[in-house]
A and B are shown apart, each in its own frame.
Chain A
Amino acid sequence: MPLGLSLSLSGGALDSAQAVEGNRAASFSDTQAWRFDGASQAFTTVAAPDFFSGSGVTFSFWVKDDGIASKIFIQQRASDSERYRIGFSGGYPLFQNYASAGNSTFLAGATISNDTYTHVCWSIDISSTSNFLANTKCYLNGVDAGKFLGGAANSCASLDFQHGSTHFVGLADAATFIHIDELNEYAVWDVAMTAAQVTALYNSGAALDLSTNSGDYNVSSDLRFWARGEETIGTNAPFYSWTESSSNGLAMYAFGNVSQITSTL
């Protein structure tokens, strides 16, 4: 059978809540990143985050990999027909949502390069189906990547983007682990960022302290999730991302002893 990823996570998280409180990054300094082996390493939240409860969401991360152009590696998946996923196809950034009410797909119009650290930021507008198609954007290194071939491939058949399941990093589907050389500063906000905010977030190519407003980056209070390479993790033990408290269920669980490496960002 596929992974039993959801079987025993909640209890472990609660039992270890006190121990992981001390794992938060004490101060901002980007020195480490995550590395996934593609065989058994992944992250998952211990509960189902509700990122899409408002009118939009922003996903942001830095990534570098020798084959990133064809990988999907972020997902919130309840089933094959109830999920959203983020990754790349043919080098094009992909955001894909499946829901019983209808599927949605957005492909950006510029490609990412292998073996090059790239900042990827999805600003997703779910205020209406037309706004999803008009306003959803993917930024690569702070620049709007446009729409795939004039938007021919993009669609929005429903606004059901919230799935009652855990949020995964390093998995493409139910049980396919994805090899990623470096993933850094993965963060989620429950608002769709503007172009100016994303430019500030890109910060001329340097990781930014997301917990503090700085210039046009003024949405720190909307930050819901921030997984930093600097977190202290244990084998098969939950840990908290920087912004978490023990009450909101967004502690993360690292499968297969996810590797932490020196960041080359």
Chain B
Amino acid sequence: MSHFSEYRYIIVPFSDITDQMASDSVEGSKDYLRHSVAGEDRCVLKYYVGSKPSSMTGIDSYTHSQILAILEDESGDWFNPDSVFELPSV
């Protein structure tokens, strides 16, 4: 079971994030968002379950486990190989 059931996550192209949307998110600001590392520049925002802001209407929402599956997909647009350390061969 996810430990973050109080949140829902959305993925939005950075260029489409309005000030209102950023303000309505838990993150609260465009400055503190996670960006994709490949493809179109997209960001993750989250809101509290049951309180989806009107500024996010029409955007697909993900549970915590669903968003982690996207963000941690090593073949996806969010995974930075530099975020892990490969053990050397000895």
Contacts and interface: CB of A to CB of B under 8 A. Distances in A.
Do A and B pair up? The answer is: yes
Interface of A: 1-5, 7-8, 35, 37-40, 70-72, 80, 85, 87, 89-90, 92, 94, 96, 107, 148-149, 152-153, 172-179, 181, 235-236, 255-257, 259, 261
A1 B46 contact: no
Nearest to B7: A37
B4 A89 contact: no
Interface in B4-54: 4, 7, 9, 26-29, 31-35, 37, 41, 44-46
A90 B29 contact: no
A173 B82 contact: yes
Contacts of A1: 35, 41
Contacts of A72: 83-85
B25 to A, nearest CB: 9
* Chain B interface main SS type: loop
Contacts of A255: 27, 32
A37 B4 contact: yes
Nearest to B80: A176
Contact of A3 (B4, B34, B64): B34
B48 to A, nearest CB: 10
Interface of B: 3-4, 7, 9, 26-29, 31-35, 37, 41, 44-46, 64, 67-68, 71-72, 79-80, 82-88, 90
Contacts of A70: 84
B90 A7 contact: no
A181 B1 CA distance: 12
Given A40-B32, A72-B85, 13 more contacts: A5-B31, A37-B46, A89-B84, A153-B90, A172-B80, A173-B80, A175-B35, A176-B34, A177-B34, A178-B83, A235-B28, A236-B28, A256-B32
B46 A172 contact: no
Contact of A37 (B31, B37, B64): B64
B83 A256 contact: no
Nearest to A2: B35
Interface centre among B45, B82, B84, by most A CB within 10 Å? B84
23 contacts: A3-B35, A37-B4, A37-B7, A37-B46, A39-B9, A39-B71, A40-B34, A40-B45, A70-B84, A71-B84, A72-B85, A85-B85, A148-B87, A152-B90, A172-B83, A179-B72, A235-B26, A236-B29, A236-B32, A255-B27, A256-B26, A256-B46, A259-B3
